[in-house]
Amino acid sequence: MAKYEVIIIGGGPAGLTTGLYTSRAGLKSLLMERGIIGGQIINATLVENYPGFPQGISGAELGSLMHQQAVKYGLEVVTAEVTGISQGQPYSLSTTEGDFEASAIIIAAGSEYRKLEVPGEERLSGHGVSYCATCDGFFFRGREVTVVGGGDTAITDALELTRHAKKVYVIHRRDQLRAGQVLQQRALAEPKLEFIWSTVVEEVLGDKILEELKLRNVKTGQHSILKVAAVFVAVGLMPNSRSFFNVVDLDDAGYIVTDEAMATSAPGIFAAGDIRRNSPRQVAAAVGDGVTAAMSAFKYIQEGGNGARITNP
**283-302 helix and 13-24 helix, angle to the nearest 10 degrees:** 40
β-partners of residue 3 are 101
- Of the candidates 40, 24, 49, 52, the one whose C-alpha atom is nearest the C-alpha of residue 108 is 40
Point out the catalytic residue in the list 99, 135, 274, 289.
Answer: 135
The answer to whether residues 93 and 68 touch, using CB atoms and an 8 Å cutoff, is: no
The whole-angstrom separation of Cα 13 and Cα 31 is 12
The whole-angstrom separation of Cα 143 and Cα 179 is 25
The whole-angstrom separation of Cα 272 and Cα 294 is 9
The whole-angstrom separation of Cα 285 and Cα 277 is 13
- Of the candidates 56, 24, 8, the one whose C-alpha atom is nearest the C-alpha of residue 283 is 56
Catalytic annotation present for 249: no
Point out the catalytic residue in the list 99, 136, 249, 274.
Answer: 136
β-partners of residue 18 are none
The whole-angstrom separation of Cα 21 and Cα 282 is 19
DSSP β-ladder status, 129-130 and 98-107: unpaired
Q: Where are the alpha helices (DSSP H) in the chain?
A: 13-24, 59-72, 133-136, 152-161, 181-188, 283-302
Point out the catalytic residue in the list 132, 152, 251, 259.
Answer: 132
The whole-angstrom separation of Cα 198 and Cα 173 is 4
At 135 the three-state DSSP class reads: helix
Catalytic annotation present for 135: yes
Catalytic annotation present for 136: yes
The whole-angstrom separation of Cα 270 and Cα 259 is 9
List b or e across 97-116, with b for residues whose CB sees 16 or more CB atoms inside 10 angstroms. eeebbbbbbbbbbbbebeeb
> Backbone phi, then psi, for 200, in 5-degree steps?
-125, 155
Q: Which residues are catalytic?
A: 132, 135-136
